[in-house]
Structure 1
Amino acid sequence: MPFTLATWNINSVRLRETLVARLLEEETPDVLCLQECKSPVDKIPREAFTALGYPHMVARGQKGYNGVAILSKLPIEEAGAADHADLGHARHIAGRLANGVTIHNYYVPAGGDKPDRAINEKFGQKLDYLTAMRDTFHADRPEKAILVGDLNIAPREDDVWDHKKLLKVVSHTPIEVEHLAQTQDAGGWVDVTRADIPQGNLYSWWSYRAPDWDTADKGRRLDHIWATGDIAQAAHSSRILRDVRGWEKPSDHAPVFATFDL
């Protein structure tokens, strides 16, 4: 059963309901994973998405912050929601498709501005969250699973616009990259996007602070699609919809897509 999956940090699902609807209508992914929904679950505009052919949803939400949701054309049942590092945040939801594939949708903490947990609590929370993810995958190694989301780390040199300039900037520091690598290794996860597009600069986020974001192109690849080794070879057709970053009143993230022949 081939299916196409997309992940997108929407930065308020209610504020950008029309953008979600446009993506669903124009691109018709079978599954859309959203992060930073900033909404209680009962306030997500589910009826509008159902009308577009997405009647299934699993989600965790909270008012004004965080929040993750999986919208699906295909039947999906909830398969858990972890509170890593005991932060009390709505940052993870898992759903299982009828073919047995489990989809994990994550919104890893951004980490604040200073890459030093001694003076920045948020950076410590980010590292602790990744450590808890790693330990979870060590304890219960996933199989037939896909992990997507805004992981808030650009791990490779060509995942950022300037590697040397960003080495001390949160999202590309060596300690974050190492924590992400340990998390990936613990679950045997394969970076599907880079398996498909192994070379060249690739970004999914451009700051709101740059009004000429497209021309300046100072981006980072913060949004990821991973798969466990047993199904990674079934993935193909990876792409990042850069143009979506230029839609009216956009999120600062662009959607990332992949198709799985399973």
Structure 2
Amino acid sequence: MALESRGFPVRIGVQLQPQHAPDYALIRDAVRRAEDLGVDIAFNWDHFYPLYGDRDGAHFECWTMLGAWAEQTSRIEIGALVTCNSYRNPELVADMARTVDHISGGRLILGIGSGWFRRDYDEYGYEFGTAGSRLDDLGAALPRIDARLATLNPAPTRDIPILIGGGGEKKTLRHVAGHADLWHSFADRDTYPRKAQILAAHCADVGRDPATIEHSAAIKHGASPDESARQAAELTELGLSVITVGVCGPDYDLSAVEALCKWRG
């Protein structure tokens, strides 16, 4: 019997971090290997510079890569974990998402968040603002994305799932309650239960059943295959159903991903 958590099937994701891979062929190969292993979702991230290691190391852009993945893969869902709302206006994000949705045959997850990496903003000329202002901008963008998706011709192939990443208790989780199909908490087994309770309260405020939102989290970076499977079991017992492993270039070691796929069955 397939594993389930809160009524959702347990799914395994891999975040192929587009950093420290000087040849894009390394990323292309990693996506192929991930799909062959049986992962359910391949994510990248939306940054312009590495987040760790050599700060000026090799790095590739997010959404052009998703277009390539849409053509390369045939089964897995794809998306960003997560798109930075600040880097593109909401209407453009909607159109990009619709286009990748069509290229992939309906396999895109639109992951989005408020943004946080100061260097991206400074180097590419975006206004950084404050954490609060960026979250307000995200809140204003989400209905605009919905509105544009509803008017595009041709329409998306399906209702594109919206994933919102973050755990801010006053604003982010309110946005999740109002707009998200999936919530990536960036939480662990100790911090997740409180965040889930607060999300449920926000859902009550807007008249939404919290059971309609799929919960997602990541295995701690650098965990061994056995430790990854142990963490996954703990997280699914708490109510999370999308469990993701992050891997970095240039080698993109998928041993923990393989262990999770075997654990899931």
TM-score, scaled relative to structure 1: 0.43
Structure whose residues are more often strand by fraction: 1
Structure whose residues are more often helix by fraction: 2
Structure of higher RCO (CA pairs closer than 8 Å, 6+ residues apart):
2
TM-score, scaled relative to structure 2: 0.43
